Amino acid sequence: MTTSFPMNAGDGPYSYFKNSHLQREVLDNSKEMVRDAITRKLDIKKIMLSSSNTLCIADFGCSIGPNTFIAMQHVVQSLKEKYHNTNILEFQVFFNDHVTNDFNALFRSLPIDRSYYAFGVPGTFHGKLFPSRSIHFAHCSTAIHWLSKCPEELLDEKSPAWNKGLIHYVGTSNVEVLNAYVAQFEKDMEMFLDARAEEIVEGGMMVIISPQSSECLVKFFGSSLMDLVSEVSRQHKRVRNKLKLSAGRLSTPMKLECGVATLTIV
Instruction: Read off the pLDDT of each residue in 127-141 and give the average, rounded to a whole number.
Output: 94
Comparison of pLDDT for 162 and 224, the residue scoring more: 162
Q: Which residues pair with 139 in a beta bridge?
A: 59, 207
Hey, how many other C-beta atoms are within 10 angstroms of the C-beta on 132? 12
pLDDT (0 to 100) of residue 144: 84
6-10, 52-56, 240-244: which range is least confident on average? Answer: 240-244
Q: pLDDT category, 93, cuts 50, 70, 90?
A: very high
pLDDT tens digits, one per residue of 137-170? 999 998 888 888 888 888 888 888 888 777 777 7
Alpha-carbon distances, residue 5 vs 61, 118, 123, 203 (angstroms): 12, 23, 12, 34
Q: pLDDT category, 79, cuts 50, 70, 90?
A: very high
Alpha-carbon distances, residue 227 vs 19, 106, 193 (angstroms): 34, 35, 11
Give the whole-angstrom CA distance, residue 4 versus residue 143.
14
Q: Which helix (H) or strand (E) holds 120?
A: strand 117-122
Domain boundaries, the chain: 16-145+201-215
66: preceding bond cis by omega (within 30 degrees): yes
* Per-residue pLDDT at 240 exceeds 80: no
pLDDT (0 to 100) of residue 156: 85
pLDDT tens digits, one per residue of 174-205? 889 888 888 998 999 999 999 999 999 988 99
Give the whole-angstrom CA distance, residue 133 versus residue 224.
25
Hey, how many other C-beta atoms are within 10 angstroms of the C-beta on 238? 7
Q: pLDDT category, 239, cuts 50, 70, 90?
A: very low
At residue 233's C-alpha, the angle toward residues 128 and 221, to 5°, is: 80
Q: pLDDT category, 238, cuts 50, 70, 90?
A: very low
Give the whole-angstrom CA distance, residue 71 versus residue 13.
23
Comparison of pLDDT for 266 and 131, the residue scoring more: 131
- What percentage of the chain reaches a pLDDT higher than 70? 67
User: Which is nearest to 96 in space by CA: 55, 138, 136, 134?
Assistant: 138
- What percentage of the chain reaches a pLDDT higher than 90? 30
Hey, how many other C-beta atoms are within 10 angstroms of the C-beta on 113? 5
**22 contact partners, CB below 8 Å, separation of at least 6:** 211, 256
Q: pLDDT category, 265, cuts 50, 70, 90?
A: low
Comparison of pLDDT for 154 and 129, the residue scoring more: 129
Does the domain made of 16-145+201-215 have the CATH classification 3.40.50.2300? no
pLDDT (0 to 100) of residue 163: 81
Give the whole-angstrom CA distance, residue 177 versus residue 154.
7
